[in-house]
Structure 1
Amino acid sequence: MFSLKILIVEDDAVSALLLQKALEKNKHEILGIADSGEKALELLTQNHADIVMMDINLAGELDGIKTTEIINEKYDIPVVYLSASSDAETLNKVVGTNPSAYVIKPFNIRELNMVIELAIFKDRKEKELQKLNNELEEKVKQRTVELYDANKELTKALEKEREINELKSRIVLNVSHGFKTPLTSILSSAQLLQIYGEKDHPFKIKIAKHAGKIENSVRALNNLLTSVLFFGKADADQMKFRPKKMFMGAFLKELMDTLNAGKENDVEIKMETGNIPKTLTTDSELLYQIFENLLSNAIKYSSDGQKVDFNISFENGQLISTIRDQGIGIPKSEQDQLFDRFFRAKNVGIIEGSGLGLSIVKKCIEVLKGTIEFESIEGKGTTFKVTIPVSK
């Protein structure tokens, strides 16, 4: 672990002292402890800091969020938020300040060290990327001025390069966010489980609660990895149609069990099956990917008390299914991007996701030579209709 110059901004003297001791134990230099945003800014005018540990709830006119906004604008120093709260409202407040990391109290030294290392690494890589982008943009401008009139094909190539860079940036943003949130939850819950596990039965409910959080976070991380591996196969042209006989009853039961186990809200899945044969022949893995992603999205973007209708039937050699939800819907202006990789609509807010699910659905349907249609109204819900050719 390398030594860093760290400013602590914490209005609770005991918490500040404990944090100072933990950081000094790992050979970091503490520039000072500020109990207000105003004092923190004053210290930064006098000393250079490598990183700032910022309590969100500060007394005075400048809370942690406002202070961070000023630090971002004037000093461009990575900030790690400290908070005893991990609720959606708090996360929604801090997301606009682009913090380098977010630590939930109480924390242990190992977790703290890991978060600081990740924050410094993220900051350095972002600055390196910004420098490279600036250099690239300057070169592009110079080349465009010199060659635009003589060679329009060069302009097209530069535009393609810009699109590739934007795609890379979106990959970094979505994947890093997808990893950071589940891992933070796993670390925090594991820490609490260690504490509760030392006690007797009165804490069993809490243990179960945090164990559930770990399970859900691991599932989210596993889904993300599965999605990335899926497209690795697709891009390498390894996606093949492998039909085999499957038992529809067992297939649907496994699908519903998985969806119900992974639900984090109170949304009912109402499944209705039509005249479906006991067995069908198709690629069950691709079919599972289609239904699991569509139904998971329908659940995730619905609210407590709403329901998702899942109708599936067999007609004229085709498996026909509709998935209808009453959730947030898709803005009309963005519907033509729905199946693009890493696309996430502007109205998803803080709902987690990688933007890969519907891209996977589209790719699987293409391999199965099926079709997908959808209708959506923002604020009222979305309906998908999938038709897959199968054989008995």
Structure 2
Amino acid sequence: MFSLRILITEDDHVSALLLKKALEKNSHHIIGICDSGEEALDMLEENSADLVMMDISLSGELDGIKTTEIINEKYGIPVVYLSASSDTETLNKVVGTNPSAYVIKPFNTRELHMVIELAIYKDRKEKELQKLNNELEEKVRQRTADLRDANKELRRALEKEKEISELKSRIVQNVSHGFKTPLTSILSSAQLLQKYAEKDHPFKAKIGRHAQKIENSVRNLNSLLTSVLFFGKADADKIDFKPKKLFTGAFFNDLVDVVKAGSENQVKINLNMRQLPKTITSDVELLYQIYENLLSNAVKYSQENTTVEFEVWMEGGILKSRIKDQGIGIPQAEQSQLFDRFFRAKNVGIREGSGLGLSIVKKCVDVLRGEITFESAANKGTTFYVNIPVKE
């Protein structure tokens, strides 16, 4: 048994002496005997103690319970209560002060030593736990401070990234618009060349052929710039939903005519409109981007002299469509990447394309709060299904 410095606070002199004798027999050092709470506090002010044996009933104004509360708050020394009473009321008062142990008088010497050992052990474990809690709280405070600093850095980085993104968008838009003006001039010149080639000229066929190549190349480049501009707006979150009324029949017929005019192969488009209202309200530009890209792809990747089936119908406030081609299809292993920017399947061959068309389609469908799905297999064609909520 380790030796402890113990203060005895007991108003019964005989009981105090018996307790002193029992404790000293077990090699403990008694720093003093007090009969009041006031005297015990004074003695602790001048002497260090490892343990206080505290009678509940004391002379003076402070009883053992009140004195223990002060000791707990001021010194943090373990207290073992001594009492001849074990009634419920007394026990409830004692528990409220979180004592280290409780001894009923008259005490058994063996039990007394066991209680003291348990009291010291309990006190040490509580202090270890408190130390760990304090260390944990300090770590939490430090981590919280680190997290705040990290969040500040992250906010600064996000702000910087936003600035760079806005700058990139402005550069892309300025450069793209800068390209569009000379491209328009080149396109006009190519169309004039074609007109001149209609007259008798020894190089009539060559002029017409080269003019057509220039025109097709300009249209492709113009389409690419339009796509780049679109994603510049998308990255800057500047694609807004702008609904307006459109005539459904005229819209889809004109759309098919434009796609046919821009195609370079002999592929038919069979447009089937059924159960369509005369007008609908939606974003015309976004709808055009969706169907023009899907139809152009269907035609581009179809075999010569085949037909693209284009069905459009209305059902429960949803504009539904199906675009089915008989083209090269999409390999199963690559279908998960279909809507990624700049993705082109390995089986596209020498067909021109930027890999942006279906990304634009997906973005437009998302802005319109619609959905797009597809079925495809290599060499067996592709079918796209598009559902767009609209107002009649």
Q: TM-score, normalised by structure 2?
A: 0.50
Q: TM-score, normalised by structure 1?
A: 0.50
